[in-house]
Structure 1
Amino acid sequence: MNNYPDYFNNNSGRQPAVDALDTRVSQVMKRVYLNMFLGLLVTALVSFFCAGSPAVLSFYAQHSWMIWGLFIAELVLVFAISGGINRMQSSTATALFFLFAVINGLALFPIFLVYTHVSIAKTFFITAGTFGAMSIYGFFTTKDLTRWGSFLIMALIGLIICAVINMFWANSTFDWIISGLGVLIFVGLTAWDTQKIKQWAATSPFEATGKLATLGALSLYLDFINLFLYLLRFFGNSRD
């Protein structure tokens, strides 16, 4: 698969142009991964602080609706960044991304109360290894993963529907099946999103680099977090 625009296929000066494009793609991907890493770090620090704060725990105990409020806020931010990024300043998009990371930290801190710190750390490293392998595959493969994307998005929608149904059904076996499918879906999405971001980097104008880095970081951040949460159901050990 050729990810380069047609004007790089000319014989005259082709190699310098290709080298310059490769350098640009590499720079964009570095910014994507850096933003993603910082977002994960912010989420982890916020979650860890909240789990160890009696004031926060007391507040959440008295305001159980906060979890739903945070969930709605997360959805609003994801749609705002994804849908409105072309109308935003790059700094605004970046600020919203890190706001999302903070809110996600506020929503995820209960995992530190449910699972042991050792099992959380173990699952994090398993997730990092799996994510890294699939992201490398997505970046270097010459196979077009477009069909993966169409299938995986439909599978993700089905997964969400199944998860909602199981909230009322509360079937433990079905929950394990959902978790296993969730792992497979987000493993695939990691490779697909990486290739998609690489293609964006190769075809987008230079002035869009900042926005692209933020949007790419958000996509991979969501893949990592969801993969981590599904794997935690398999590798997490209860504190009880």
Structure 2
Amino acid sequence: MSDFNRDYARSIPTDRADMSVDAGLRSFMLGVYNKVALGLVVSAILAFITGQVGPVQQLLYRTAIDSAGQTVLAGYTLLGYAVAFGPLVVILFGAFGMKNATPRSSGIYYWTIVALLGASLGAITLVYTGASIFQTFLITATAFGGLSLVGYTTKKDLGPMGSFLIIGAFGLMIAMLVNIFLGSGMLAFIINVVGVLVFAGLIAYDTQRLKMTYYELKGDGAAMGVATNYGALSLYLDFINLFMFLLRLFGDRR
């Protein structure tokens, strides 16, 4: 899901400028990170509302009471399925229908995906313990910071690795769809391990790609606004995917 608009910037040599002391680049990247952080906060709030606020929960999920007296996920309502698949539908629409995006339209696009994905994440609060979700989020945030720093500071061109990882992300999606019908625990474990590796690499790659985008578009305010929204979307989706794969691997179920 996080491969959207990864070809936004064409290849530019990574040693084109001393990026570490470029105030404009730092400002651009800070804008992207702030938007990602705010998107994660909005998603967390919406996930809590849809997963834990009774009337809203009942609109999206079918629940049951387990032996410990806790409310757990038993299935989705029709509206719940619509919300769960909504982000994918919007992403596909944007990929094929937004050829001349503006800062405003790309911003609406970003926040629409954040809102839908955040609402759909309410399901995890019914599957995993709150402590497990919080711990996994902290681990993901720490890993995201380190990997993004690598992508920002490295002089090595990550483009070839990025192309391989994007193919891997599509392969993961196909494998996950196949495993819905197979129900293989071993295949699910392999998918989760590979997913962690793929999206860890994509965080570094997308960070470097954003630097290249900045130097290509520097001076074009409208294009920079669009790039900020698309860049935030890529990193936001990388974070969410890494979080979900880690949670499936290490999360404590209710």
What's the TM-score once normalised by structure 1's chain length? Answer: 0.87
Match of 1:76 in 2: 89
Alignment of 1:237 with 2:248, yes or no, is no
The 3-state SS of whatever aligns with 1:87 is coil
The CA deviation at 1:59 is: 1.4
Q: Is the 8 A contact 1:24 1:202 kept in 2?
A: no
What's the TM-score once normalised by structure 2's chain length? Answer: 0.83
The CA deviation at 1:83 is: 5.2
Structure 1: gaps (5+ residues): 9-17
State the identity as a percent. 35
Match of 2:57 in 1: 57
The CA deviation at 1:234 is: 2.1
Of 129, 138, 147, which aligns to 1:116?
A: 129
Structure with more of its chain in strand, by fraction: 2
**Max radius of gyration: which structure?**
1
Structure 1 CA distance for aligned equivalents of residues 89 and 118 of structure 2: 16
Q: Which amino acid aligns with 1:160?
A: M
Q: Which amino acid aligns with 1:38?
A: L
Alignment of 1:134 with 2:147, yes or no, is yes
Q: How does 1:9-28 map to 2 (within 5 A)?
A: 22-28=22-28
Deviations along 1:34-85, whole A, 9 cap, x unmatched? 1111111111000011122111222124762334322443123224445555
Q: Is the 8 A contact 1:3 1:202 kept in 2?
A: no
RMSD: 2.2
* Equivalences, count: 228
Deviations along 1:177-203, whole A, 9 cap, x unmatched? 110000000000111111001100111
The CA deviation at 1:24 is: 1.7
Structure 2 CA distance for aligned equivalents of residues 65 and 222 of structure 1: 25
Between stretches 150-159 and 38-47, larger displacement belongs to 150-159
Structure 1 CA distance for aligned equivalents of residues 205 and 39 of structure 2: 20
The 3-state SS of whatever aligns with 1:25 is helix
Q: Is the 8 A contact 2:60 2:77 kept in 1?
A: yes
Q: Is the 8 A contact 2:14 2:155 kept in 1?
A: no
Q: Is the 8 A contact 1:137 1:191 kept in 2?
A: yes
Structure 2 CA distance for aligned equivalents of residues 107 and 175 of structure 1: 21
The CA deviation at 1:3 is: 3.7
Q: How does 1:173-184 map to 2 (within 5 A)?
A: 173-184=186-197
Q: Which amino acid aligns with 1:28?
A: F
